[in-house]
Structure 1
C-alpha cells in the first residue's frame, strides 16, 4: 500500500488535521459538527486531503474459502468434510437475528447510522495518539470487514508482508481502511456488509465464519443460535485466540457477559433475559468436522476421492490446484458409494481376513455397477493410518497408484477371460478344441510368438488345473483353469492380439513402468502377463473389465461421482467419459457362456450365488502369493484380491501357500494351499449376494444360435524344401503370417531351406505360422553324445516331431490326406 505521503505528516497536529480533512473530504460530518477552530489547521487539512486522495481505492471483495462435504450415494451419509479453513458460508437469512444484534452491539453500535467511518471512533484514535499511545480506536464493522478481507486476500497470495500490513496499528493502515470502508458503503447495503463480515471473520480454534462456529462450539446452526450462544460468539472476534469457549472457558464466559451487558444497555434484551443469561453456563458441545480421511467412516474411499479429484480438469489445471479447489470451494460432492453394500462388503472381508493378519496377508475388494462404471463399494482388511503399524496402512490396495494405491498385484488366471474373448471374436466357439498343448512343465521361446514373446525361455506350469493333456476343449480349459492350454491358445491367437483385447477392455498396469524407453501403464508385452496374469493390476481395474461381459460388450470407465454442486448451488460438469461398445454382444455372450461354466462346473462351483442367480467368475492364483476371484452378474461386478501386499516372503513361498493362517471374524482358519476359490471366492460370494439382494434375477445374453465352432481354419501350405522367401510368400498368399523360428537338424532338407512349418496341417486364418529352418545333418560327434542317430536308406523313416492334432472340421468337410512332404529328423528340436 502507498504510505509514503502519510509519513510526511510529522506531528500530532498534522495527524489531527488529516483526520478532520478526511472527514470533510468524505462527507462523513457536516461542517456544523466540525470542532470549532479547525481553520487553524487549514494547511494541514489540505495536506491531509492530498494524502488521503493518493491512497488506492480499488478495494476488491474475496470469496471466502469454504469446506467441501463429501457424501455417499444417498446424499445424506457423510464421508468427509474437507477444508483449508473450516467455514460454511450462509446468507444473512440463515443467521439468527439475535446473533446479528449481538455482533452489532459489541462491535459497532452505530453501524446502521454511519457511512462506514465513525467520527467518534476517529476522535478516540487521535486522542490516543495525542496521549502518547498507538493510533487506536473503535473501528466500524465496515472497517473490520475491510481489514479481514485484505488479510484473507494476502494469505491466499502467500504475501506475508501484505498480511502483516493489513493488521498493522499505524496511521497509514487506518487511513487506507477508512477510504476502503467509504467505498464499500457505496456499493454494498448494510445487511450485505454484515453478512459478508460474519461469514469471513475468524472465530478461534481453527474456525471461520458464523455457521462453522455455531457447529463447532455448540453443535447447532447459525439460524438456531440462542441468546447466550450468540453473545459468546459475538465476543470472540475481538480476541479469538484467547477467548474461545473450548480452550479458554473462563475468559470466554467473562467476555460473553460483557456482550450481554452491552445488549442490555442498548435495550436489545430485557432485565429478566439479562439476569438469566449471565447465570447460564457456556453450554458448549464441541463438534469437529472430519477434515482428514483418517477419521472418515470410509477412509480408503475418502482418500481415493481426493486423489481422483486431482486428475479431473473440471477442478483446475494442475493436481495441486484441483485439490486446493476441492478443499476451499464449498462443494457438495455426492459419490456413488452405497453405504449398505459397503458395510456388507467390509463384513464379508472380515469374516475371512482379519486386520491382525497384516503383515503379511491382506485383502481388498471393489464392486462396480454394470452398465455405468459406478463404484458401489471399496473395502480392505487393514486399518487406516498414515503412520502404519499394528495392521494399519494408508495405502489403498484396491486402486491404482494414481489414486493412492500400491500399484496392483499379479492377477493370475483371472486374465484368461480376455484370451477367451479374443478367441470368440476370432470365430472360435466355447467348444473349440485346443490341440498341440505342451505337457507341463512346458518351455516356450520368443520364436513361438509373433511379437509380445518372452525375452528368455519361459517355463509354464499348471497351478490350479492339473490337466496335462495335449488336446482339450476351451470349455474344459476354462473351467479347470489350465495354464498350458491357455498359453497354447494365446500362441495360436497371437499374444499381441490378446493384449490388444485386454487394452480395449480397460486392462492396464496399476503403476506405470518403463516400457520401450518411456513410462507406460499399458499391459506388458509378455505372454506371461498376457496369458497368465504376471502383471500388477488393481482390483478396481479387474472389476470394471469383467463388467464388460455382463454389460453385453460395453466397457464403462470408472465413475465414483453422482454429482458435484458448487457453493452457489450450480452443478459442475465433470465431462466424464461415457460407456463404449468395445466388443460385440455375441462375443460378450459367448465369453460369459464359458465363464458361467467356471461357476457351475469349475473352480468357482463352491461360491455360486444364492437363489440360483447366474454369474460369471474366474479364480486366479499367482506364484507370488496373490490369489483372486473376479466375477459378475448382469448388474454388478466384483473383484476380490487376497495376498501379500508388501511382497513379504519371509519363510518362503511354501510357508505362505501351504500354511496360511487367517484370523477372520468367523474364527481362525488354516489353508493347506491358498488358492483363489478358498478365501477370495467366499469373500466375493458374500459381497455379491449382498449386492444382489432384492434385485430381480437377470440372465446373461444368449449367443448366436449358429456360432462358429472352430474358427476360420484353413489348410497350411506345404512349404518344406522351399527357401524362406518362397515359404513366406506362400503362407501370406494363403492368409497367414510367417515368422522364422529356430534351426533344426534334418537328414532330408538342405541347409538354409524350410524343414517344416508349425503348425503344419491346419491353422486359424490370419494366425502366425512358424518356419523351422534346416541346419543340415546333425554332426556325428553330436550324435555320439546321446542324440538320436541318423537312419540309413532302407530303414524306417523317423516320425515327425509332435504336431498339433488336426482341428475338428464341420461334417461336410472331407478328411485331409496325410502330408507327403519329407519328414524332419527325429532329433529335431521340440517345436
Structure 2
C-alpha cells in the first residue's frame, strides 16, 4: 500500500513538474513570438486628413475613421475617473494584469461555464487593440496578459491611458474620446457635463449596440451603471449623481464640423493630396494648408450666390417645384407635408417650403423642420411668370398671382424675415489668384456644392468669347503693332475653301460698323471685326505661338479666324491665369492651391515652391539683396514670400512670356475698357487701378468677366451646364458678381499702379489716324508706344494718311 502511495506521489509530482516545465516553455515561446511593444511610444494612429485655409480655418476632413488625438494632460480629470471607474478601477495599482479581476472571472467561468466581462485591464485592452484580434480565445487572453506586462515595463501609466483614450472605438465611426464628444454632442471633451461624460465612458463595452443614437434605452442603463460606479468609488458626490441621473440623453449625430464652407476648395485640395501621397493620406494624420484666404473665400461665395440668384429672378418665376395634396375641405397634414419637404434639395441659402395659406399681403408656409413662417408679398414682386427665356408675364399684383396652397416653393432667410425665392437653374464660377505667384486666394465652383460637386472653375471648359481677345491683342503688340494701329471696322465675308455656299459674316454685337479704328478702341469697345482683321494681319500661326505661352493648349484653340472672337475652350482658372501675366508685368505663373502639408508630428512633408515674379532676381542675388522685400498691401500679405535667394541658390523665378512693355500697354488698354468701354459699370468701385474685359459668346451662351489690379486677379463665368442662351451680356450677368467680390476684397487696400518699364514713351496722337498730333491740335490724345514704334509723321489737317501699318517683317496686307 505504501509503495502504491509513493508511486502515486512520484507520478503526481513528475506530472506537475512536467506540466510546469511545459507551461514555462509555452510562456517563453509565446512571449518570444509576441511583437515588441516599444513601437507604442511612436505609434501612428489612423487620423483623418484635415484641410485648412491659409489663415487656419478648417474646411474639410476626410477619412473613414473620425479621430482627433488629445494629449492626456488635456483630458478632464472627471472623464479619466469615469473611464477608470467603468473599465479598470485599479489601473494605477496593478502591473498590467488585475489578478483579482482575473480570479473573479475564473470563478464565474467555473460556476456558470460562461466567460464574463471584467477581466481585461486598460493595459490589456491597449494590447488587444494595437496587436491582437477581438476574437475571444484563451490563447488571445494569454497573449494579452503577456503583452500587458511588457507594455507596463515600457510605458508610463499616463502614456498607456492616453493611448487607450485615443484608440478605443466609441461607435458611429468615432475613435477616441475627442471624436466621441464631437460625434454625439458636437463639442470637445473639456465642454462635456457629467451626464455626457458618463454616457461616453460607458460606450467601449458595446459601442454599436448601446450608443445613445442606435439604442437610447440601453445607453441610459449603461450611463446609470457608470454613474453608480463613480459614486461608489467617490469620484462624484450624491448631488452630482442625482443631477446626472435625471439629465436627458440629449444627443444626436453630429457630422464633421468645419469652420467655414468652401467645399470646392477642399475637394480640389483633397484630390491633389491623394495624387501626391496616395490613399494613405486619409489615415496618416496629415494636415494641409491651402493658399485660400477665408475672408476672400466668403466674399467670393456670397458674390457668386447672390449674383446667380439675382440673375434668376431677373428672368422670372418658373412656378412651383411640386404640388402637395390638399385633403377634403382643404385639410392639411402639416407633419406629413414637412416630412415630404425633406426629399427636396436644400442649399446654404435656400430651403424648400410648402404653402399653407395665401393672403392679400403675405403667405404662410411650413419648412422641413415643421417651423411655420410668413413671407411678405414685397419679396414676391419679382416673380413675373417666365413665358420664354426673354419674355416675362405681367408683374404680380398679389400673392395669389404667384402661388396657391400646396405649392412647394423655395425661400431665403434674411436677418429678420423670409423672402420668396427659387433654386436657380443658372450656374457660375469665380476664381481669384495673386498674380505674383499663382496662389489661389478664393474659388467657388458653382451655386451650391450640395446640388452639384462639379467644379466649374477648374473642370468646365467653355468658349470665353471676347474675354479671350486680350491674348490676341497681346500677340499683336509682341509683333510690332501698337495701341494706335488702325484697323478698319467694316463688313467682311469669309467662304470655306470647299466652295460650299455657307459663308461666315461676322458682325459686332451692335450690328453696326465703325470704320477705321485704333487697336485701343477696338479692344475697349470689343469690336469683333477689328479683332478678326487684326488676327488675319498678324497671322494665326504667329498668334498661337504667343497665346500658348499664357498656358492655353493649342489643341483647344481653332486654327481659324474665329479664334479672334474667343472660340477657343478654356476654364475660368485658365483665363484667370492668363490675365495674371498682364497684372504681373508679363510672367507665367502656375496656379496652385496647396501651400504646405505637415504630418502627425507637425513635420513639413510638402511646401509649395511656386515660380514667383521676380524681374530683378539675378541682379539682386549677385548683390546679396532679397528681391522680396518690397512694401506689401493687405492682399500681398496673404501670399507666402519665398525664402530670399542667395548666391548659392537660385530663386524660383517665374518665366517671362511677354515683354514688360506689352504687359504695361495691355493693362492701360484694359483700364480704358473699364473707364470708357464695355466694363463701364465697374467705375462704381471708384478705383483707377482696375483693368478688365467682358466676354459674351455666340448667342449669349456664356457670360464672362475677368479683371485685376497688381495684387488680385479674378475671373467670373456665368452660364448653363447644358449650354443654352443666358440672354445677357457679360457686362450684365458676370460683371456685377466680379464687382461685388473685388469691391469687398479690395476695401481699404491702397490703389496700386504698375511702374512704367523702360523703352516706353507717351506722345500725343491724332485719334482718327493714330499718327502724331499736329501742333496745337485740340482733340489730340496721349498714347503709349515702344520707342521704336512711335509714328514718324504728323496727321494731315484734313484726312490723309493713317497709322495703318503692317509691322516690320510682317506678311499681312493693310486691311481697309
TM-score by length of 2: 0.68
| 1:183-215 superposed Cα distances (whole Å, 9 cap, x missing partner) | 222221111010011001011222110111123
Is the contact between residue 712 and residue 764 of structure 1 (CA under 8 Å) also seen in structure 2?
no
Counterpart of 1:92?
72
Q: Tell me, in whole angstroms, the C-alpha distance in 2 between the residues paired with 1:446 and 1:709.
A: 45
Is the contact between residue 117 and residue 182 of structure 1 (CA under 8 Å) also seen in structure 2?
yes
The Cα of 1:626 is off from its aligned counterpart by 1.4
Q: Tell me, in whole angstroms, the C-alpha distance in 2 between the residues paired with 1:351 and 1:360.
A: 12
Is the contact between residue 48 and residue 283 of structure 2 (CA under 8 Å) also seen in structure 1?
no
Change (3 A) 1:646 1:52: farther
| 1:35-80 superposed Cα distances (whole Å, 9 cap, x missing partner) | xx9986332332233333333222454422224444444424x433
Change (3 A) 1:477 1:277: closer
Q: Tell me, in whole angstroms, the C-alpha distance in 2 between the residues paired with 1:325 and 1:275.
A: 41
280-289 vs 101-110, greater mean Cα deviation = 280-289
Q: Tell me, in whole angstroms, the C-alpha distance in 2 between the residues paired with 1:620 and 1:456.
A: 30
Please give the secondary structure, in 2, of the residue aligned with 1:629.
strand
The Cα of 1:277 is off from its aligned counterpart by 3.8
Please give the secondary structure, in 1, of the residue aligned with 2:731.
coil
| 1:163-185 superposed Cα distances (whole Å, 9 cap, x missing partner) | xxx01111222222223222222
Counterpart of 1:540?
573
Aligned pair partner of 1:691 in 740, 745, 757: 745
Is the contact between residue 183 and residue 254 of structure 2 (CA under 8 Å) also seen in structure 1?
yes
The Cα of 1:586 is off from its aligned counterpart by 1.6
| 1:640-679 superposed Cα distances (whole Å, 9 cap, x missing partner) | 21222212x4xxxxxx36xx4xxxxxxxxxxxxx222222
Is the contact between residue 202 and residue 209 of structure 1 (CA under 8 Å) also seen in structure 2?
yes
Counterpart of 1:722?
none
Aligned pair partner of 1:705 in 761, 769, 772: 761
Q: Tell me, in whole angstroms, the C-alpha distance in 2 between the residues paired with 1:38 and 1:185.
A: 34
Counterpart of 2:34?
57
Counterpart of 2:87?
107
Please give the secondary structure, in 1, of the residue aligned with 2:483.
coil
Is the contact between residue 51 and residue 287 of structure 2 (CA under 8 Å) also seen in structure 1?
no
Aligned pair partner of 1:439 in 484, 488, 491: 491
Q: Tell me, in whole angstroms, the C-alpha distance in 1 between the residues paired with 2:79 and 2:743.
A: 52
Is the contact between residue 292 and residue 442 of structure 2 (CA under 8 Å) also seen in structure 1?
no
**2:673 aligned with 1:598, yes or no?**
yes
Please give the secondary structure, in 1, of the residue aligned with 2:153.
helix
The Cα of 1:681 is off from its aligned counterpart by 2.3
Unaligned stretches of 5+ residues in structure 1: 1-36, 152-165, 386-391, 401-406, 448-454, 509-520, 650-655, 661-673, 715-760, 770-802, 807-831
Change (3 A) 1:608 1:308: farther
Counterpart of 2:593?
560
Pairing 1:707-722 to 2, within 5 Å after superposition? 707-708=785-786
The Cα of 1:92 is off from its aligned counterpart by 0.1
Q: Tell me, in whole angstroms, the C-alpha distance in 1 between the residues paired with 2:77 and 2:607.
A: 39
Q: Tell me, in whole angstroms, the C-alpha distance in 2 between the residues paired with 1:645 and 1:458.
A: 30
Q: Tell me, in whole angstroms, the C-alpha distance in 2 between the residues paired with 1:213 and 1:182.
A: 29
Counterpart of 1:366?
431
Is the contact between residue 445 and residue 457 of structure 1 (CA under 8 Å) also seen in structure 2?
no
Change (3 A) 1:577 1:483: same
Q: Which has the larger radius of gyration?
A: 1
Please give the secondary structure, in 2, of the residue aligned with 1:410.
coil
Q: Tell me, in whole angstroms, the C-alpha distance in 2 between the residues paired with 1:685 and 1:445.
A: 44
Q: Tell me, in whole angstroms, the C-alpha distance in 1 between the residues paired with 2:79 and 2:291.
A: 32
Q: Tell me, in whole angstroms, the C-alpha distance in 2 between the residues paired with 1:179 and 1:465.
A: 88
Unaligned stretches of 5+ residues in structure 2: 1-11, 314-349, 351-420, 613-653, 763-784, 793-803
Counterpart of 1:630?
706
Change (3 A) 1:762 1:678: closer
The Cα of 1:572 is off from its aligned counterpart by 4.3
Q: Tell me, in whole angstroms, the C-alpha distance in 1 between the residues paired with 2:197 and 2:748.
A: 49
96-105 vs 262-271, greater mean Cα deviation = 262-271
Please give the secondary structure, in 2, of the residue aligned with 1:229.
helix
702-711 vs 230-239, greater mean Cα deviation = 702-711
The Cα RMSD (Å) is 3.6
Aligned pair partner of 2:443 in 370, 378, 395: 378
Counterpart of 1:804?
814
Counterpart of 1:764?
807
Counterpart of 2:773?
none
Is the contact between residue 67 and residue 81 of structure 1 (CA under 8 Å) also seen in structure 2?
yes
Please give the secondary structure, in 2, of the residue aligned with 1:393.
coil
Is the contact between residue 68 and residue 178 of structure 2 (CA under 8 Å) also seen in structure 1?
yes
Q: Tell me, in whole angstroms, the C-alpha distance in 1 between the residues paired with 2:497 and 2:293.
A: 46
Q: Tell me, in whole angstroms, the C-alpha distance in 2 between the residues paired with 1:678 and 1:38.
A: 101
Is the contact between residue 620 and residue 676 of structure 1 (CA under 8 Å) also seen in structure 2?
yes
**2:473 aligned with 1:473, yes or no?**
no
Counterpart of 2:509?
464
Is the contact between residue 433 and residue 440 of structure 2 (CA under 8 Å) also seen in structure 1?
yes
Counterpart of 1:341?
299
Q: Tell me, in whole angstroms, the C-alpha distance in 2 between the residues paired with 1:250 and 1:606.
A: 64
**2:686 aligned with 1:641, yes or no?**
no
Is the contact between residue 446 and residue 454 of structure 2 (CA under 8 Å) also seen in structure 1?
no
Is the contact between residue 445 and residue 454 of structure 2 (CA under 8 Å) also seen in structure 1?
no
The Cα of 1:529 is off from its aligned counterpart by 6.6
Please give the secondary structure, in 2, of the residue aligned with 1:507.
coil
